[in-house]
Structure 1
Amino acid sequence: MSANCTFSDVDNVTMVLDFVIYVPVLVFGLALNITALVVFCVLLRKWTESTIYMTNLALMDLLLLLPLPFKMHAAMHTWASNTKFFCSFLESLYFVGMYGSIYTIACIAVDRYIAIKYPFRAKQLRSKKVALIVCGFIWVFVMGATSPIYTFRDENNDDFRCFHGFSKKGWTTGVIVCLEIFGFLLPATVLVVCSTQSIRTLKATESKNSKRQAGVRIIYSSLAAFLIPFTPCHAAIFLQYLVRNDFISDCSQQKNIAVFIQVSMSLANVTICLDALCYYFIAKEVRSTTDTVLSRVRSISTSEV
């Protein structure tokens, strides 16, 4: 980055964004996700594959919300050098929550695809045990993948800003390529493919069936709820990589990218807080549309006999 380029005006924008967006996100996000956990774990008497994924999603979202007060503080204050490990721990929680949510959403799309595309085989392919193993693997994977964050701070005694200013180690080509491919492109591809196939299967049923139409709409909605916040977010990360590696040296462009990454990350956080609520209705619709597909297949089989 250019040494002559100052970002004080960008810092002011960041402070306003953090206060205006993160305060309501924290309040409503905590309320919605705690409510979701109560519904999934207490009020619903029967555990299913869907409720296991919903619970995991709510836990991931809560994990992302916990560092937000510290992130707001870091936007307005520098931190002492002896707090770097604690800062890295908070940053790790933040990214574990974000990418854990992304992978849980992708797994929900796969589970939904199996339930709709293969309704008769779903009982063999889907089970509570499989869902628990998948959720456990997501936790292990994202915690391992985000562990390098603890090395992304320069080892000096200067005060610093947490959640800002990673060292060159955090912006190497290998790190960014892995983040973009495994953190976004891979789960996004899984989500798009599974959603497309689910929609095709639903459209192959009776054209005037209201449940089928509702199922198609809600899959489109879930697809948009993933791509709209996370595509700009990861585009901004790539642009910031270009800045940090001196591919973009113009000061005005660097400032625009700095603002873009803050706005896109804020948008992603807002969406994540609504995940558990959104996907509860998706899971409910999946059960409904699966029954529709089953009844349609049975009627075709009966007529052929």
Structure 2
Amino acid sequence: MNQNSCSITAYENFPLVQLCVYIPVFILGIFLNVLALWVFCCKLNKWTETKVYMVNLAVADCLLLFTLPFKTLSNFQQMKVGRWCLVLESGYFINRLMSISIITVVAADRYLAIKYPLKAKALRSPLQASFASGFLWIVIICVIFLTKMIENRDQDELCFEKTSVKPSVISLCVIIGGFFIPLIIVIYCSIQVIAELLKKKNENCHEKKLIRKAVYIVTANMAVFIICFLPLYLGHLLRFIMDSISSSCPAIQRVNNFVHLASVLANTNCCLDAICYYFVNKEFKEASPKLVRSKSESIEDAKIQLPTH
């Protein structure tokens, strides 16, 4: 196949699909995330690790939502690649990667709190959570801007569109580092937390109910993360492979159409985050102290049984 003769574009009705989905997503997402920010910042006086991460997640989701109208407009007007386009693309990808990163850090933080509660007291604090969040913002902003500077977009004609069929190694690195590594962390930490919660058999009925709710919500949270983002990044990975092996234009076009639809699904995550993490935070507040107390009592019992010298 002559790669120079193959130009990939979004299918004709995609801007209309975006408009139909993004209007309710934008309205609902802004309402839920602004409400979450108001509750976390104005109604909850004590700053905790979870509160710090939730505020950063809500900010990232809000900023991503604000890019959606411009993304939709760029498709309707077929905006050409230029300085304004690169700014929009950077804002869009920075906030998506930040959202994924915060979800990953929250999963790891919960794993640490549930699996190693005593060590967690020394390792977890609101200040450390603030430093971790700030570090993530800096790293992701630098990575995206550096990517935009290095990446050659001369062969791409339209904004938010990879029209050329030249494989991008930089994009592959972002796909692996920005999603697939976080995916492994989220799945591992979530499964470990669920397993740890299910170990607690000797609780009273009320505590069993709380732990069961926590298990359901962690499972739902992990499922939402996988369902929203996995199709998109599998599509990106498949597109890279097909570009690399010089597949036919129609085949690449079909994958490109799938990526566009998957991106719409991924952006609905901005609404679901506010809902999922509200319940996760609520249930873990109730379930975690009981697990910490149970583990502490087990350790104290073990200490009593140790011989003294």
Shared fold per TM-score greater than 0.5: yes
- Which residue does the alignment assign to 1:204? 199
1:188 to 1:202, Cα distance in 2 relative to 1, 3 A: same
1:110 and 2:108 correspond: yes
Q: Within 5 A, what are the aligned runs for 1:262-277?
A: 262-277=260-275
**Which stretch shifts more, 56-65 or 282-291?**
282-291
- Which residue does the alignment assign to 1:233? 232
Q: Within 5 A, what are the aligned runs for 1:122-133?
A: 122-133=120-131
1:276-298 CA distance string (max 9 Å, x none): 23112112222222112123335
1:108-130 CA distance string (max 9 Å, x none): 00111111112233221110111
- Which residue does the alignment assign to 2:95? 97
- The CA distance in 2 between the partners of 1:24 and 1:195, in whole Å, is 30
1:129-162 CA distance string (max 9 Å, x none): 1100100111011111111224546459x9x432
- The CA distance in 2 between the partners of 1:257 and 1:47, in whole Å, is 45
SS in 2 for 1:66: helix
1:72-122 CA distance string (max 9 Å, x none): 1111113366xx111101100000010100010000001111111122332
- Which residue does the alignment assign to 2:307? none
Number of matched pairs: 297
1:260 to 1:67, Cα distance in 2 relative to 1, 3 A: same
Q: Within 5 A, what are the aligned runs for 1:1-305?
A: 10-79=10-79, 84-147=82-145, 148-152=147-151, 154-155=153-154, 160-165=157-162, 171-172=167-168, 174-206=169-201, 209-245=208-244, 247-251=246-250, 253-298=251-296, 300=298
- The CA distance in 2 between the partners of 1:5 and 1:13, in whole Å, is 20
Tell me the TM-score normalised to structure 1 length.
0.88
1:302 to 1:67, Cα distance in 2 relative to 1, 3 A: closer
- The CA distance in 2 between the partners of 1:240 and 1:80, in whole Å, is 22
Tell me the TM-score normalised to structure 2 length.
0.87
For residue 259 of structure 1, report the CA deviation from its aligned partner: 1.6
- The CA distance in 2 between the partners of 1:100 and 1:113, in whole Å, is 20
1:25-59 CA distance string (max 9 Å, x none): 11111111111111111111111110000000011
For residue 23 of structure 1, report the CA deviation from its aligned partner: 1.1
**Which stretch shifts more, 24-33 or 175-184?**
175-184
Unaligned runs of 5+ in 1: none
- The CA distance in 1 between the partners of 2:27 and 2:221, in whole Å, is 23
RMSD: 2.5
1:80 to 1:104, Cα distance in 2 relative to 1, 3 A: closer
